[in-house]
Amino acid sequence: MKNNKKYQDFCQHLRKITDIRHAIDVMSWDHQTYMPKNGAEARGQQVATLESVAHTLWLDEKFGVLLKELSEDSSLGANELANVRLVLRDYTRKKKYTLEFVDEMSRATSAGFSAWHEAKVKKDFSIFEPVLKKIVELKRQECEFLGYEDHPYNALLVDFEPGLTVKKVDEVFTDVKAQLFPFTKEVFKRAKPNREFLHMKYSKAKQLEFSEKKIKQMGYSFDGGRADFAPHPFCTTFGPGDVRITLWVDEEFFNPMFFAAVHEAGHALYEMGLPSKENYGLPAGEAISMAFHESQSRFWENCIARSRPYWEGSFKELQKEFPENLSSVSVEEFYKGVNYVEPSFVRVEADELTYHAHIYIRYLIEKALITNEIQVSDVPKFWNDRYEEFLGIRPENDAEGCLQDVHWSYGSFGYFPTYSLGSFISAQLLATMKKDISGFDDLVRSGNLTPIRQWLNTNVHSHGRLLTSNELLKRVTGSELQFKFFMDYAREKYGKIYGI
């Protein structure tokens, strides 16, 4: 559409908005990595200013007129019309937000991260409680002015997974409770593999060196990204050619840094694989949804980096780095050790099976907060009671309990269900990939992960968000999301490990 002046104006306007969004992303990344504590208040004001500027550009009346005209332009191609349709949907939603609300939410969430971090360090929910109370009040208001059908939480799910509803999430978790939770309890009864060798001294520098080497093998490029440390690992994109990850480290436990690195690199590979350079600011260059985004990180972390073929090919490298810890450990012992299943408090370190209890608990809390069934002051007890109910353990303090995740400090309500959905999508993609790629396990074993990344580039990343999650999953795998793929994967893998 090089000759369509209106479409070019549309693209240019979106690029301006995206420039501002990425500037906010840079400031937020700095807030979580290097910014001194005393800079938080000013940073909150700066981010709020840019949020208001971006929102004003979104609400520009001339842009609205342009969108309507383009949506009726029969000269546009299918992709151009899809871009316009999706942006018009976003525009209609954003028109419901007032500048006052955007400013108030931005200030609340900027204060939220600092309060959450201090509360977590001090293991004291009361430090975070007043800020979270304000954020929850704003999210309740947001549901009302956005509007919803059936349940207010549906208004928030849209931001992360368009088309997802409470009804659908409840249906999925009905299967999880009926199939996965009983299977997990059977695993709990079996003899546990040894994993003492994972809880030894692993130097930060050597962990980082090994982790960076292995994510390069996946295809992550340090010419287009970097790895830093933050209180909570995440991936962020500043534009084409700059996709960054953050990690955390425990020098007394191997798992946290390595698997966080692979997980966040999985997110990064999705961003790097998007056709974002030629579609900067357009839906065609953006990720389809958070569930699909999570499917990419969970695929690399669990389906690849926790698989037997992966460690059959990589364990000797790790032994050379840490001979004092691993010289007497077999690859089979190591594989079983990194797939150890047990009830635990920390979501990001949870095994593949119990992970979904962590997500379900957060989902229940979010729904209850939004509908006023519980208040913010009730969160610690509600959290602890659910952990005792579903996992048989009770947190001893708020840091290992309701303060472990950063998401609520951002106002990210409606995000958590996508973590479980992403895991289930990853298993469905894996089943199809093994049919499409000859010698899949041999490739993983050899460290030649390029064909796997290219398959994802072609089948998932290249579409941007021009399709819905269901449309894309059906196109790639032949069906919409089916929990059975994850259950089949779990039974096959953990049945062998635990003799079930």
Handedness of CA 257, 357, 302, 156 (dihedral sign): negative
In angstroms, the CA 335 to CA 329 distance is: 10
* 321 pLDDT above the threshold of 70: yes
Specify if 45 maps to a domain. Answer: yes
**pLDDT score of 2:** 56
Nearest to 352 by CA among 259, 444, 440: 259
| Tokens 């074993």 -> residue | 445
CB 464 within 8 A of CB 288: yes
Tokens (6 digits) for 374: 């519980």
**pLDDT score of 348:** 84
CB 285 within 8 A of CB 464: yes
* 159 pLDDT above the threshold of 80: yes
DSSP string, 322-373: -HHHHTT--HHHHHHHTT-----S-GGG--TTTHHHHHHHHHHHHHHHHTTS
Mean pLDDT over 236-252 rounds to 95
In this structure, the answer to whether residues 173 and 132 fall within a common structural domain is no
The three-state secondary structure class of 17 is: helix
In this structure, the answer to whether residues 143 and 240 fall within a common structural domain is no
Handedness of CA 385, 391, 394, 396 (dihedral sign): negative
**pLDDT score of 110:** 86
Specify if 241 maps to a domain. Answer: yes
* 234 pLDDT above the threshold of 80: yes
Rounded percentage of the chain residues whose pLDDT exceeds 70:
100
**pLDDT score of 231:** 84
Please say which residue of 149, 177, 202 terminates a domain. 149
The band of 258, judged by pLDDT with boundaries at 50, 70 and 90, is very high
Mean pLDDT over 23-27 rounds to 95
Mean pLDDT over 347-374 rounds to 96
In angstroms, the CA 393 to CA 385 distance is: 9
Structural domains counted in the chain = 2
In this structure, the answer to whether residues 239 and 191 fall within a common structural domain is yes
Q: What is the 3-state secondary structure (H, E, C) of 253-307?
A: CCHHHHHHHHHHHHHHHHHHHCCCCCCCCCHHHCCCCHHHHHHHHHHHHHHHCCC
| Tokens 């994967």 -> residue | 489
> Measured between alpha carbons, how far apart are the two ends of the chain, in Å?
58
The residue count for the chain: 500
CATH number at residue 41: 1.20.58
The band of 493, judged by pLDDT with boundaries at 50, 70 and 90, is very high
**pLDDT score of 133:** 98
Phi, psi angles (nearest 5°) of residue 246: -125, 155
Specify if 179 maps to a domain. Answer: yes
Mean pLDDT over 3-14 rounds to 94
Per-residue pLDDT of 404-454, as tens digits, reads 999 999 999 999 999 999 999 999 999 999 999 999 999 999 999 999 999
**pLDDT score of 1:** 53
Nearest to 153 by CA among 372, 359, 402: 372
In this structure, the answer to whether residues 98 and 125 fall within a common structural domain is yes
**pLDDT score of 40:** 86
Mean pLDDT over 307-320 rounds to 98
In this structure, the answer to whether residues 256 and 183 fall within a common structural domain is yes
DSSP string, 433-452: HHHHSTTHHHHHHHT--HHH
In this structure, the answer to whether residues 18 and 143 fall within a common structural domain is yes
Q: Is 264 in the active site?
A: yes
Which structural domain range is residue 264 located in? Answer: 166-498
**pLDDT score of 232:** 82
In angstroms, the CA 482 to CA 357 distance is: 18
Helix 417-436, helix 355-370: angle, nearest 10: 140
The three-state secondary structure class of 242 is: strand
Per-residue pLDDT of 129-146, as tens digits, reads 999 999 999 999 999 999
CB 109 within 8 A of CB 62: no
Tokens (6 digits) for 153: 């939480």
Q: Residues 284, 479, 184, 396: what is their CA dihedral angle, to the nearest 10 degrees?
A: 30
Annotated catalytic residue within 264, 301, 352, 366: 264
Specify if 306 maps to a domain. Answer: yes
**pLDDT score of 99:** 84
Rg (CA), the chain: 23
CATH number at residue 196: 1.10.1370.30
The average confidence (pLDDT) of the chain is 95
Mean pLDDT over 242-267 rounds to 96
**pLDDT score of 127:** 98
Specify if 354 maps to a domain. Answer: yes
In angstroms, the CA 48 to CA 111 distance is: 11
Phi, psi angles (nearest 5°) of residue 201: -75, 115
Q: Which residues pair with 229 in a beta bridge?
A: 247
